[in-house]
Structure 1
Amino acid sequence: MTKPIQIAAPDPRQNQILAALPKAEYERILPDLELVAMPLGWTMSESGDHVRYLHFPVSGIVSLIYALEDGSSSEIALVGNEGLVGISIYMGGDSLPSSTEVQSAGQAYRLSRKLMKQEFEQGGQLQHLALLYTQALICQTSQMAVCNRHHSVEQQFSRWLLMSFDRLHSDKMMITQEQISHLLGVRRESVTQTAGKLHKEGLITKARGSISMLDRGQLEARACECYAAVKEECERLLPPPKTRH
């Protein structure tokens, strides 16, 4: 009988915040980090939920989504392995008005609310990094609010693609144009037209349920200044990713 293939768990330090912790702090929380799958479409928390865990993604993308009473919604931030999900745990607000939904499947390590609050109250490097990430997240949500109000669909679409590819560390993603229209808060027809234009001009290639990036330089030229502004602020505030062999 063939034995099942054992798949090694990913290194928690694939998350940039965990990777930047001093050895003593990292080893203190390591036994309490629990690996969880983040399947596509999983709603990690709804608006107003009492958040029980802080998640440190090591792969995949989580979207923070704000919904209105009429049912319309828009993505207000993206989180990949550069950050964490669940800032209300240490910011003192208990819950957030936005929901969190997995946009691209991956994995994360989670830490319970109780243990995160204990670590935060010690005033160590985890507290410092969590607050820096919160500042970067505020920058991202503010910039995206301006972007959604003042920039064209092509600029928004290009900015969103670049931010997503950056967090996937890949030039291909599995997503539909309907999902993108939901995240951007625009009509599906607008996304279809924009994707078709960029495909025809050789910047991307699109297939059923997927988009690949062919020309990053030209895509950056089509994006608004919001992409560079968010990227530069994240790089200024957060530790660079560590290369592991």
Structure 2
Amino acid sequence: MVTNRLLVSLSPSDRALLEPHLEAVTLYQGEILFDPGDDVTRTYFPGGSTMVSLIVLMHSGRGAEAATIGREGAVGGIVSSGHKPAFTRAEVQIPGPALRIETTRLEEAKVRSSTLRDLFSRYADALLAQIIQSVACNALHSLEARCCRWLLTTQDRVNSTEIPLTQEALAEMLGVQRTTITGVARALRARGLIRYARGQIIVMDRTRLQEASCECYAAVNQHFNRVLPEVRPQGIITATDL
């Protein structure tokens, strides 16, 4: 079953422009959808608990996450037309189903529908807001607050108290050393906010985790809801609907 909140918000006529060209695929943990400089020839709509990170890479080989995308959005050529060189790496953090479309087909559909163009433009605005907020968050807030924000954001996308990621992966996303994130995780566990097992981080008290998070989590969500009010959690599109 493939789910995506952005697609379900489309009108029947707009969905009809995309349906013949959507392909159900499985994305695997660690899979690279594109790297900096690649021509973005495909657009992905994550479903279920699938999560993709946009990662900014340095010459040293280190990187940090700039944005997280799950079933609420899309990865790939959303607004641009013609040549679409990627600036970031798109890497699958949590595996699962997705719908894939050739970006040229998506562009053709946007030419035919002003409402489709508007939806993807507004989504691009929401994604940009997440990236901009991340810049401020990384500069101004403590690692613990940033970690709490990341866990909340990820939990929203997997829709479960169990987040199937290691502390090592969390450290990579936050751009810090593994030993550093271990100390933060221990502190959160000691306060009863999370616990962790091999390959999993489990949210034990979401309310208190939100209290420990910085303001960035709420700010990004509020902007998304204002810009895309029709993209609601209860809306689900499945592969059988296509």
TM-score normalised according to structure 1 size: 0.91
> Structure 1 CA distance, aligned partners of 2:78 and 2:191?
43
User: SS in structure 2 opposite 1:90?
Assistant: coil
The aligned residue for residue 181 of structure 1 is 171
The aligned residue for residue 189 of structure 2 is 199
Where does structure 2 lack aligned partners over 5 or more consecutive residues? 238-242
Q: How far is 1:209 from its partner? A: 1.1
Q: How far is 1:88 from its partner? A: 5.7
After superposition, residues 1-245 of structure 1 pair within 5 angstroms as: 10-11=1-2, 14-59=3-48, 60-87=50-77, 90=80, 94-238=84-228, 239=230, 240-243=232-235
Where does structure 1 lack aligned partners over 5 or more consecutive residues? 1-9
Q: How many residues align?
A: 234
Contact 1:88-1:95 at 8 Å conserved across structures: no
Contact 1:90-1:120 at 8 Å conserved across structures: no
Contact 2:41-2:103 at 8 Å conserved across structures: yes
Aligned partner of 1:114: which letter? T
Aligned partner of 1:50: which letter? D
> Structure 2 CA distance, aligned partners of 1:91 and 1:188?
39
Aligned partner of 2:67: which letter? A
**Identity within the alignment, %:** 35
Aligned partner of 2:212: which letter? R
> Structure 1 CA distance, aligned partners of 2:104 and 2:77?
13
Q: Which structure has more RCO (C-alpha within 8 Å, separation ≥ 6)?
A: 2
Q: How far is 1:97 from its partner? A: 1.2
Aligned partner of 1:39: which letter? Y
User: SS in structure 2 opposite 1:155?
Assistant: helix
Contact 1:87-1:134 at 8 Å conserved across structures: no
Deviations 1:124-157 (A, max 9, x none): 3221111111000110000001111111110110
User: SS in structure 2 opposite 1:194?
Assistant: helix
Change (3 A) 1:37 1:69: same
> Structure 2 CA distance, aligned partners of 1:107 and 1:220?
28
Query: What RMSD in Å do the two structures reach over aligned CA positions?
Result: 1.6
